[in-house]
Amino acid sequence: MTFTNRQKHSYAHYEVHDDQHRLLWIGVLETFGEHRFFAYVPNTDDWRRHIDLEQEFYGTNELVHFNKISRVAAANLLVDAPRIDESEGRWILSDLLSQESLNFGDVFFAREESSVG
């Protein structure tokens, strides 16, 4: 994908946390095409489609909270992203790794969604 093509795409960046305001995920929502939701997976240092978060984003938002943040804030949060416990959460990691991925260039060099919601 060229830089020119990335400019045609845009992403909205989100901090995903629980009721106690603990950071659970850093995510991006495509604001074009299928409007898929991707989460940063620190175990593998990549972005994977997270269907459960996607459904929660478009659903009731009862389990987690989505806070729209800037691209810069998302990049700064990457070091704080919690790793998935590979012994207790192996199934979660396996499921995420079977999903589509985005590369960092797509996430951070595409046009940023301008409206805050």
Domain ranges of the chain: 3-112
Measure the CA–CA gap between 89 and 73, rounded to whole angstroms. Answer: 27
How does pLDDT run across 12-57, given as a tens digit for each residue?
999 999 999 999 999 999 988 899 999 999 999 999 999 999 999 9
How does pLDDT run across 60-104, given as a tens digit for each residue?
767 899 999 999 999 999 999 999 998 898 999 999 999 999 877
Please count the CA atoms within 13 angstroms of the CA of 116 that sit on its side-chain side: 6
Question: Letter for the amino acid at 64?
Answer: V
Q: What is the DSSP letter of 80?
A: G
- pTM of the predicted structure, to 2 decimals: 0.83
Instruction: Mention every residue, 6+ apart, whose C-beta is less than 8 A from residue 28.
Output: 11, 12, 13, 14, 37, 38, 47, 74, 102, 107
